[in-house]
Amino acid sequence: MHKLKVFLFVLFPAICILVIALWLKPQFTKYTPVVSCPGCNIVFVSFDDLGASRVHSYGYQRTTTPSIDFFAENGFKFTNAISVSSWTLPSSISWFTGVYPSKHKILNEYSFLASQEEVLSTPENLNNILLTLPQILKENGYTTGGFTGGAALNGKFGFSKGFDKYFDEEDFGGFDITVPEALRWISENKDKKLFVFLHSYGIHGQHTPENGYDRRFLDFNYEGPLTGSKEEQKKLREDALLTGQISLSDKDVRFLSDLYDEKVQRADEAFGKFIEEYKKLGLFDKTIFIITSDHGEELYEHGRIDHGHSLYDELIKVPLVIWVPSNSRGVVIKNQVRSIDIFPTILEISEVPFSENLSGQLEGISLVPLAKGARLKLDAYPETDYRYSVFLRAIRTADNYKYILNIENGEEQFYDLSADPLELKNLASKFPKKMRLLKEKLFNHIQIYKQQK
Protein backbone atom coordinates (compact mmCIF):
# COMPACT_ATOMS: atom_id res chain seq x y z
CA MET A 1 0.00 0.00 0.00
CA HIS A 2 2.85 2.33 0.86
CA LYS A 3 4.45 1.67 -2.53
CA LEU A 4 1.12 2.43 -4.28
CA LYS A 5 0.87 5.77 -2.46
CA VAL A 6 4.43 6.65 -3.46
CA PHE A 7 3.71 5.61 -7.06
CA LEU A 8 0.55 7.74 -7.20
CA PHE A 9 2.34 10.64 -5.53
CA VAL A 10 4.98 10.60 -8.28
CA LEU A 11 2.77 9.61 -11.21
CA PHE A 12 -0.28 11.81 -10.63
CA PRO A 13 1.55 15.15 -11.06
CA ALA A 14 3.24 13.81 -14.17
CA ILE A 15 -0.12 12.79 -15.63
CA CYS A 16 -1.54 16.22 -14.84
CA ILE A 17 1.38 17.93 -16.57
CA LEU A 18 0.94 15.68 -19.61
CA VAL A 19 -2.80 16.43 -19.83
CA ILE A 20 -2.21 20.19 -19.54
CA ALA A 21 0.55 20.05 -22.17
CA LEU A 22 -1.69 18.17 -24.59
CA TRP A 23 -4.48 20.71 -24.02
CA LEU A 24 -2.18 23.65 -24.59
CA LYS A 25 -0.34 22.21 -27.58
CA PRO A 26 -2.70 23.54 -30.27
CA GLN A 27 -2.38 27.03 -28.83
CA PHE A 28 1.40 26.96 -29.12
CA THR A 29 1.69 25.17 -32.44
CA LYS A 30 3.49 27.39 -34.92
CA TYR A 31 1.05 28.96 -37.33
CA THR A 32 1.68 28.06 -40.97
CA PRO A 33 0.36 30.82 -43.25
CA VAL A 34 -1.63 29.92 -46.34
CA VAL A 35 -0.03 31.65 -49.32
CA SER A 36 -1.81 29.94 -52.17
CA CYS A 37 -5.05 30.60 -54.01
CA PRO A 38 -5.13 28.86 -57.40
CA GLY A 39 -7.86 30.09 -59.72
CA CYS A 40 -8.58 33.14 -57.57
CA ASN A 41 -9.22 36.58 -58.97
CA ILE A 42 -6.38 39.08 -58.51
CA VAL A 43 -6.92 42.75 -57.67
CA PHE A 44 -3.74 44.87 -57.76
CA VAL A 45 -4.33 48.29 -56.16
CA SER A 46 -1.97 51.25 -56.57
CA PHE A 47 -2.25 54.28 -54.29
CA ASP A 48 0.02 56.48 -56.38
CA ASP A 49 2.28 58.75 -54.27
CA LEU A 50 1.66 57.05 -50.90
CA GLY A 51 4.72 56.63 -48.70
CA ALA A 52 4.77 53.87 -46.07
CA SER A 53 5.42 56.41 -43.32
CA ARG A 54 1.95 57.95 -43.85
CA VAL A 55 -0.03 54.72 -43.44
CA HIS A 56 -1.58 54.18 -40.00
CA SER A 57 -0.87 50.44 -39.85
CA TYR A 58 2.77 51.26 -40.65
CA GLY A 59 3.07 53.49 -37.59
CA TYR A 60 1.58 56.83 -38.66
CA GLN A 61 -0.30 58.52 -35.80
CA ARG A 62 -3.35 59.65 -37.78
CA THR A 63 -5.97 57.04 -38.71
CA THR A 64 -5.96 58.06 -42.36
CA THR A 65 -6.03 54.54 -43.85
CA PRO A 66 -8.61 52.23 -42.19
CA SER A 67 -9.36 50.39 -45.45
CA ILE A 68 -5.68 49.65 -46.11
CA ASP A 69 -5.21 48.85 -42.43
CA PHE A 70 -7.86 46.10 -42.56
CA PHE A 71 -5.86 44.26 -45.21
CA ALA A 72 -2.55 44.97 -43.45
CA GLU A 73 -3.81 43.58 -40.14
CA ASN A 74 -5.33 40.46 -41.71
CA GLY A 75 -2.93 39.82 -44.57
CA PHE A 76 0.80 39.78 -45.24
CA LYS A 77 2.26 43.17 -44.33
CA PHE A 78 5.76 43.88 -45.66
CA THR A 79 7.16 46.66 -43.48
CA ASN A 80 10.33 47.24 -45.49
CA ALA A 81 9.25 47.35 -49.13
CA ILE A 82 11.42 49.40 -51.48
CA SER A 83 10.27 50.79 -54.82
CA VAL A 84 12.79 50.57 -57.65
CA SER A 85 12.25 54.22 -58.54
CA SER A 86 10.87 57.40 -57.01
CA TRP A 87 8.33 58.34 -59.65
CA THR A 88 5.43 56.73 -61.44
CA LEU A 89 6.49 55.78 -64.96
CA PRO A 90 9.59 53.60 -64.35
CA SER A 91 8.44 52.14 -61.03
CA SER A 92 5.05 51.06 -62.38
CA ILE A 93 6.50 49.44 -65.51
CA SER A 94 8.76 47.47 -63.16
CA TRP A 95 5.69 45.96 -61.45
CA PHE A 96 4.50 44.57 -64.75
CA THR A 97 7.87 43.35 -66.03
CA GLY A 98 9.62 42.26 -62.82
CA VAL A 99 12.82 44.08 -63.82
CA TYR A 100 14.67 47.26 -62.90
CA PRO A 101 14.14 50.42 -64.99
CA SER A 102 17.59 50.09 -66.54
CA LYS A 103 16.40 46.83 -68.11
CA HIS A 104 12.92 47.82 -69.28
CA LYS A 105 14.29 51.14 -70.64
CA ILE A 106 11.37 53.37 -69.61
CA LEU A 107 13.67 55.69 -67.73
CA ASN A 108 12.51 59.25 -68.25
CA GLU A 109 9.19 60.83 -69.11
CA TYR A 110 11.12 63.48 -71.02
CA SER A 111 13.54 61.37 -73.01
CA PHE A 112 15.41 64.21 -74.66
CA LEU A 113 15.02 67.77 -75.89
CA ALA A 114 14.46 68.41 -79.59
CA SER A 115 14.40 72.14 -80.33
CA GLN A 116 13.16 72.75 -76.76
CA GLU A 117 10.21 70.40 -77.30
CA GLU A 118 9.47 67.73 -74.71
CA VAL A 119 9.65 64.32 -76.39
CA LEU A 120 7.86 61.59 -74.46
CA SER A 121 8.97 58.00 -74.07
CA THR A 122 6.89 55.62 -76.19
CA PRO A 123 6.11 51.89 -76.14
CA GLU A 124 9.06 51.38 -78.49
CA ASN A 125 11.29 52.18 -75.51
CA LEU A 126 9.90 49.17 -73.66
CA ASN A 127 12.13 46.24 -74.39
CA ASN A 128 9.89 44.23 -76.73
CA ILE A 129 11.38 40.94 -75.54
CA LEU A 130 10.00 41.52 -72.05
CA LEU A 131 6.85 39.67 -71.06
CA THR A 132 4.38 41.51 -68.85
CA LEU A 133 2.32 40.31 -65.91
CA PRO A 134 -1.03 40.90 -67.71
CA GLN A 135 0.27 38.93 -70.72
CA ILE A 136 1.25 35.93 -68.61
CA LEU A 137 -2.05 35.94 -66.72
CA LYS A 138 -4.03 36.29 -69.95
CA GLU A 139 -2.18 33.31 -71.43
CA ASN A 140 -3.25 31.35 -68.34
CA GLY A 141 -6.96 32.01 -68.58
CA TYR A 142 -7.37 35.39 -66.91
CA THR A 143 -9.47 38.21 -68.33
CA THR A 144 -7.43 41.36 -67.70
CA GLY A 145 -8.58 44.91 -66.98
CA GLY A 146 -6.59 48.03 -66.05
CA PHE A 147 -8.24 51.19 -64.69
CA THR A 148 -5.83 54.07 -64.25
CA GLY A 149 -5.61 57.82 -63.88
CA GLY A 150 -3.71 58.07 -67.16
CA ALA A 151 -0.83 60.60 -67.31
CA ALA A 152 2.35 58.57 -66.65
CA LEU A 153 0.21 55.41 -66.70
CA ASN A 154 -1.12 56.16 -70.16
CA GLY A 155 -1.22 53.09 -72.38
CA LYS A 156 1.12 54.77 -74.88
CA PHE A 157 4.02 54.07 -72.53
CA GLY A 158 3.45 50.32 -72.81
CA PHE A 159 1.16 49.78 -69.83
CA SER A 160 -1.74 48.44 -71.90
CA LYS A 161 0.31 45.46 -73.13
CA GLY A 162 -1.59 42.30 -72.20
CA PHE A 163 -4.80 43.99 -71.02
CA ASP A 164 -8.16 43.11 -72.57
CA LYS A 165 -9.48 46.43 -71.26
CA TYR A 166 -7.32 49.44 -70.38
CA PHE A 167 -8.87 52.68 -69.13
CA ASP A 168 -6.63 55.80 -69.06
CA GLU A 169 -8.92 58.53 -70.33
CA GLU A 170 -8.54 61.20 -67.64
CA ASP A 171 -5.10 62.43 -66.62
CA PHE A 172 -4.43 62.41 -62.87
CA GLY A 173 -7.80 60.85 -62.09
CA GLY A 174 -8.48 59.37 -58.67
CA PHE A 175 -10.59 56.44 -57.49
CA ASP A 176 -13.63 58.65 -58.10
CA ILE A 177 -12.92 58.11 -61.81
CA THR A 178 -11.38 54.63 -61.89
CA VAL A 179 -13.59 52.77 -59.38
CA PRO A 180 -16.90 53.18 -61.29
CA GLU A 181 -15.20 52.08 -64.52
CA ALA A 182 -13.63 49.08 -62.80
CA LEU A 183 -16.83 47.98 -61.06
CA ARG A 184 -18.80 48.21 -64.30
CA TRP A 185 -16.28 46.00 -66.10
CA ILE A 186 -15.95 43.56 -63.18
CA SER A 187 -19.74 43.19 -62.99
CA GLU A 188 -19.88 42.40 -66.70
CA ASN A 189 -17.12 39.79 -66.36
CA LYS A 190 -17.70 38.44 -62.84
CA ASP A 191 -18.12 34.87 -64.02
CA LYS A 192 -14.59 34.88 -65.46
CA LYS A 193 -11.22 34.59 -63.76
CA LEU A 194 -10.14 38.22 -63.41
CA PHE A 195 -6.98 40.26 -63.06
CA VAL A 196 -7.80 43.87 -62.17
CA PHE A 197 -5.28 46.71 -61.91
CA LEU A 198 -6.94 49.56 -60.00
CA HIS A 199 -4.98 52.81 -59.79
CA SER A 200 -5.56 56.26 -58.30
CA TYR A 201 -3.76 59.60 -58.48
CA GLY A 202 -5.93 60.86 -55.61
CA ILE A 203 -2.90 61.52 -53.38
CA HIS A 204 -0.68 62.90 -56.13
CA GLY A 205 0.43 66.53 -56.24
CA GLN A 206 -1.25 67.01 -59.60
CA HIS A 207 -4.62 66.02 -58.18
CA THR A 208 -6.93 68.12 -56.03
CA PRO A 209 -10.07 66.71 -54.42
CA GLU A 210 -13.37 67.21 -56.19
CA ASN A 211 -15.05 70.31 -54.68
CA GLY A 212 -11.75 71.30 -53.08
CA TYR A 213 -10.15 70.52 -49.71
CA ASP A 214 -12.31 70.46 -46.58
CA ARG A 215 -9.16 70.99 -44.46
CA ARG A 216 -10.23 68.25 -42.06
CA PHE A 217 -6.81 67.96 -40.43
CA LEU A 218 -5.89 71.63 -40.12
CA ASP A 219 -5.99 72.50 -36.42
CA PHE A 220 -4.36 75.91 -36.68
CA ASN A 221 -5.09 79.19 -38.40
CA TYR A 222 -3.09 79.21 -41.62
CA GLU A 223 -3.39 82.37 -43.68
CA GLY A 224 -1.04 81.57 -46.54
CA PRO A 225 0.78 82.20 -48.73
CA LEU A 226 0.23 78.57 -49.90
CA THR A 227 -3.13 77.31 -51.14
CA GLY A 228 -2.44 73.66 -51.94
CA SER A 229 -3.38 73.97 -55.62
CA LYS A 230 -1.86 71.65 -58.20
CA GLU A 231 -0.45 74.68 -60.03
CA GLU A 232 1.33 75.69 -56.85
CA GLN A 233 2.63 72.14 -56.37
CA LYS A 234 4.04 72.19 -59.90
CA LYS A 235 5.80 75.53 -59.28
CA LEU A 236 7.34 74.28 -56.02
CA ARG A 237 8.59 71.18 -57.83
CA GLU A 238 10.04 73.11 -60.77
CA ASP A 239 11.69 75.73 -58.55
CA ALA A 240 13.38 72.97 -56.53
CA LEU A 241 14.58 71.19 -59.68
CA LEU A 242 16.04 74.47 -60.89
CA THR A 243 17.70 75.63 -57.66
CA GLY A 244 18.12 72.43 -55.62
CA GLN A 245 16.04 73.74 -52.72
CA ILE A 246 13.08 75.95 -51.86
CA SER A 247 12.26 78.01 -48.77
CA LEU A 248 9.19 77.12 -46.71
CA SER A 249 8.24 78.02 -43.13
CA ASP A 250 7.28 75.41 -40.54
CA LYS A 251 3.63 76.48 -40.94
CA ASP A 252 3.87 76.09 -44.72
CA VAL A 253 5.17 72.54 -44.33
CA ARG A 254 2.56 71.65 -41.74
CA PHE A 255 -0.16 73.03 -44.02
CA LEU A 256 1.02 70.94 -46.97
CA SER A 257 1.39 67.87 -44.75
CA ASP A 258 -2.16 68.22 -43.46
CA LEU A 259 -3.53 68.53 -47.00
CA TYR A 260 -1.56 65.45 -48.01
CA ASP A 261 -3.13 63.49 -45.14
CA GLU A 262 -6.58 64.62 -46.27
CA LYS A 263 -5.91 63.28 -49.75
CA VAL A 264 -4.64 60.00 -48.29
CA GLN A 265 -7.80 59.61 -46.20
CA ARG A 266 -10.07 60.51 -49.12
CA ALA A 267 -8.34 57.94 -51.34
CA ASP A 268 -8.65 55.30 -48.62
CA GLU A 269 -12.36 56.09 -48.21
CA ALA A 270 -12.91 55.70 -51.96
CA PHE A 271 -11.06 52.37 -51.90
CA GLY A 272 -13.26 51.28 -49.00
CA LYS A 273 -16.35 52.00 -51.10
CA PHE A 274 -14.88 49.91 -53.91
CA ILE A 275 -14.47 46.99 -51.49
CA GLU A 276 -18.07 47.35 -50.31
CA GLU A 277 -19.37 47.13 -53.87
CA TYR A 278 -16.93 44.36 -54.78
CA LYS A 279 -18.22 42.24 -51.89
CA LYS A 280 -21.79 42.63 -53.20
CA LEU A 281 -20.65 40.89 -56.40
CA GLY A 282 -19.77 37.81 -54.32
CA LEU A 283 -16.11 37.84 -55.38
CA PHE A 284 -14.29 38.98 -52.23
CA ASP A 285 -13.63 35.55 -50.71
CA LYS A 286 -12.03 34.24 -53.88
CA THR A 287 -9.74 37.21 -54.58
CA ILE A 288 -6.06 37.91 -53.92
CA PHE A 289 -5.44 41.60 -53.14
CA ILE A 290 -2.11 43.37 -53.62
CA ILE A 291 -2.05 46.90 -52.19
CA THR A 292 0.98 49.11 -52.71
CA SER A 293 2.34 52.37 -54.09
CA ASP A 294 4.81 53.31 -56.79
CA HIS A 295 6.59 55.88 -54.60
CA GLY A 296 6.11 58.26 -51.70
CA GLU A 297 6.13 62.04 -51.45
CA GLU A 298 8.75 64.41 -50.05
CA LEU A 299 7.21 67.06 -47.82
CA TYR A 300 10.33 69.15 -47.21
CA GLU A 301 12.28 66.42 -45.34
CA HIS A 302 15.26 67.30 -47.54
CA GLY A 303 14.29 70.78 -48.64
CA ARG A 304 11.95 69.92 -51.51
CA ILE A 305 8.38 69.04 -52.39
CA ASP A 306 7.14 66.29 -54.76
CA HIS A 307 9.05 63.20 -55.95
CA GLY A 308 11.37 61.81 -58.62
CA HIS A 309 14.26 64.07 -57.64
CA SER A 310 15.88 61.88 -54.98
CA LEU A 311 16.17 58.32 -53.64
CA TYR A 312 15.61 59.06 -49.96
CA ASP A 313 13.32 56.71 -48.04
CA GLU A 314 10.38 59.12 -47.95
CA LEU A 315 10.19 58.49 -51.71
CA ILE A 316 11.16 54.82 -52.13
CA LYS A 317 9.82 53.13 -48.99
CA VAL A 318 6.25 52.12 -49.78
CA PRO A 319 3.45 50.05 -48.26
CA LEU A 320 3.06 46.52 -49.57
CA VAL A 321 0.20 44.33 -48.38
CA ILE A 322 -0.85 41.00 -49.86
CA TRP A 323 -4.16 39.49 -48.81
CA VAL A 324 -4.92 35.83 -49.52
CA PRO A 325 -8.53 34.84 -48.70
CA SER A 326 -7.72 31.42 -47.25
CA ASN A 327 -5.14 32.85 -44.80
CA SER A 328 -6.70 33.26 -41.35
CA ARG A 329 -4.48 35.81 -39.60
CA GLY A 330 -2.11 38.71 -40.17
CA VAL A 331 1.59 38.12 -40.77
CA VAL A 332 4.28 40.80 -40.55
CA ILE A 333 7.40 40.43 -42.72
CA LYS A 334 10.25 42.74 -41.73
CA ASN A 335 12.81 41.64 -44.32
CA GLN A 336 13.62 44.14 -47.04
CA VAL A 337 11.79 43.37 -50.30
CA ARG A 338 11.58 45.14 -53.68
CA SER A 339 8.72 46.15 -55.94
CA ILE A 340 10.16 43.88 -58.67
CA ASP A 341 9.30 40.93 -56.39
CA ILE A 342 5.54 41.47 -56.78
CA PHE A 343 5.28 39.91 -60.27
CA PRO A 344 6.73 36.47 -59.37
CA THR A 345 4.89 36.53 -56.02
CA ILE A 346 1.52 36.92 -57.75
CA LEU A 347 2.32 34.02 -60.06
CA GLU A 348 3.31 31.69 -57.22
CA ILE A 349 0.28 32.53 -55.05
CA SER A 350 -2.09 31.98 -57.97
CA GLU A 351 -0.10 28.90 -59.08
CA VAL A 352 0.47 30.24 -62.58
CA PRO A 353 3.49 28.45 -64.13
CA PHE A 354 6.74 30.23 -64.88
CA SER A 355 7.87 29.70 -68.46
CA GLU A 356 11.58 29.34 -69.20
CA ASN A 357 11.63 32.72 -70.97
CA LEU A 358 9.96 34.41 -68.03
CA SER A 359 12.26 32.85 -65.46
CA GLY A 360 15.22 34.21 -67.42
CA GLN A 361 13.66 37.67 -67.50
CA LEU A 362 12.64 38.26 -63.89
CA GLU A 363 15.06 40.11 -61.61
CA GLY A 364 12.73 39.84 -58.63
CA ILE A 365 11.91 36.72 -56.64
CA SER A 366 8.71 35.33 -55.15
CA LEU A 367 8.04 36.54 -51.61
CA VAL A 368 6.05 33.42 -50.71
CA PRO A 369 8.99 31.85 -48.81
CA LEU A 370 9.32 35.03 -46.73
CA ALA A 371 5.59 35.00 -46.05
CA LYS A 372 5.99 31.45 -44.75
CA GLY A 373 8.81 32.45 -42.39
CA ALA A 374 12.01 32.09 -44.42
CA ARG A 375 14.75 34.71 -44.06
CA LEU A 376 16.31 36.16 -47.17
CA LYS A 377 18.71 39.09 -47.55
CA LEU A 378 17.66 41.16 -50.54
CA ASP A 379 19.53 44.29 -51.57
CA ALA A 380 17.59 46.89 -53.55
CA TYR A 381 18.93 49.05 -56.39
CA PRO A 382 16.57 52.02 -56.82
CA GLU A 383 17.21 54.53 -59.60
CA THR A 384 15.77 57.73 -61.01
CA ASP A 385 16.33 59.66 -64.21
CA TYR A 386 13.92 62.53 -63.75
CA ARG A 387 13.29 65.32 -66.17
CA TYR A 388 16.50 66.98 -67.40
CA SER A 389 18.58 67.25 -64.27
CA VAL A 390 18.36 64.17 -62.02
CA PHE A 391 20.37 61.01 -62.73
CA LEU A 392 20.74 58.92 -59.56
CA ARG A 393 21.55 55.28 -58.82
CA ALA A 394 21.58 53.70 -55.36
CA ILE A 395 21.91 50.54 -53.35
CA ARG A 396 19.88 50.01 -50.18
CA THR A 397 21.27 46.94 -48.45
CA ALA A 398 19.42 44.31 -46.46
CA ASP A 399 21.45 45.35 -43.40
CA ASN A 400 20.21 48.94 -43.61
CA TYR A 401 22.90 50.96 -45.38
CA LYS A 402 22.37 53.16 -48.40
CA TYR A 403 24.77 54.49 -51.01
CA ILE A 404 23.55 57.03 -53.57
CA LEU A 405 25.55 58.04 -56.64
CA ASN A 406 24.87 60.95 -58.96
CA ILE A 407 26.03 59.41 -62.25
CA GLU A 408 26.25 62.82 -63.89
CA ASN A 409 28.59 64.65 -61.49
CA GLY A 410 29.91 61.82 -59.28
CA GLU A 411 28.46 63.17 -56.02
CA GLU A 412 28.21 60.44 -53.37
CA GLN A 413 26.01 59.95 -50.32
CA PHE A 414 26.27 57.21 -47.71
CA TYR A 415 23.85 56.60 -44.84
CA ASP A 416 23.58 54.24 -41.89
CA LEU A 417 19.79 53.89 -41.85
CA SER A 418 19.69 52.13 -38.48
CA ALA A 419 21.33 55.10 -36.75
CA ASP A 420 20.02 57.78 -39.12
CA PRO A 421 16.64 56.72 -40.58
CA LEU A 422 15.89 60.26 -41.78
CA GLU A 423 19.11 60.32 -43.85
CA LEU A 424 20.38 63.61 -42.49
CA LYS A 425 24.05 62.66 -41.91
CA ASN A 426 26.03 61.91 -45.05
CA LEU A 427 28.86 59.60 -43.93
CA ALA A 428 30.60 59.42 -47.29
CA SER A 429 33.83 60.93 -45.93
CA LYS A 430 33.77 59.09 -42.58
CA PHE A 431 33.40 55.43 -43.56
CA PRO A 432 35.18 55.06 -46.92
CA LYS A 433 35.80 51.30 -46.57
CA LYS A 434 32.17 50.40 -45.90
CA MET A 435 31.02 52.79 -48.59
CA ARG A 436 33.47 51.28 -51.08
CA LEU A 437 31.84 47.85 -50.63
CA LEU A 438 28.44 49.27 -51.48
CA LYS A 439 29.88 51.25 -54.37
CA GLU A 440 31.38 48.07 -55.85
CA LYS A 441 28.04 46.28 -55.56
CA LEU A 442 26.27 49.18 -57.26
CA PHE A 443 28.85 49.37 -60.06
CA ASN A 444 28.52 45.61 -60.67
CA HIS A 445 24.74 46.06 -60.88
CA ILE A 446 25.04 48.96 -63.33
CA GLN A 447 27.53 47.00 -65.45
CA ILE A 448 24.90 44.32 -66.12
CA TYR A 449 22.84 46.77 -68.16
CA LYS A 450 25.82 48.22 -69.98
CA GLN A 451 26.60 44.71 -71.21
CA GLN A 452 23.01 44.23 -72.41
CA LYS A 453 23.08 47.24 -74.75
List pLDDT tens digits, range 365-374: 999 999 999 9
pLDDT tens sequence across 78-128:
999 999 999 999 999 999 999 999 999 887 655 443 334 444 455 555 666
Q: Where are the domains of the chain?
A: 41-378
Is the pLDDT at 189 greater than 70? The verdict is yes
- Helix axis angle, 250-280 to 66-74, nearest 10°: 60
Give every strand in the sheet of 412-416, ordered side by side: 383-386, 390-396, 401-406, 412-416
pLDDT of residue 117: 46
Report the top-level CATH class of 41-378. Answer: alpha beta
Determine the pLDDT at residue 118: 47
The region that residue 388 occupies, defined by phi over 0 for left and psi between -120 and 50 for alpha, beta otherwise, is: alpha
Q: Which of 380, 242, 271 is nearest to 48 (CA)?
A: 271
303: confidence class by pLDDT, cuts 50, 70, 90: very high
pLDDT of residue 176: 95
Each residue's pLDDT tens digit, 327-352: 878 999 999 999 999 999 999 999 99
| pLDDT category of residue 9 using cuts at 50, 70 and 90 | low
pLDDT of residue 112: 42
Q: Of the given ranges (31-35, 198-202, 309-313), which has the lowest mean pLDDT?
A: 31-35
CA distance 274 to 179: 6
Q: What is the pLDDT of residue 389?
A: 77
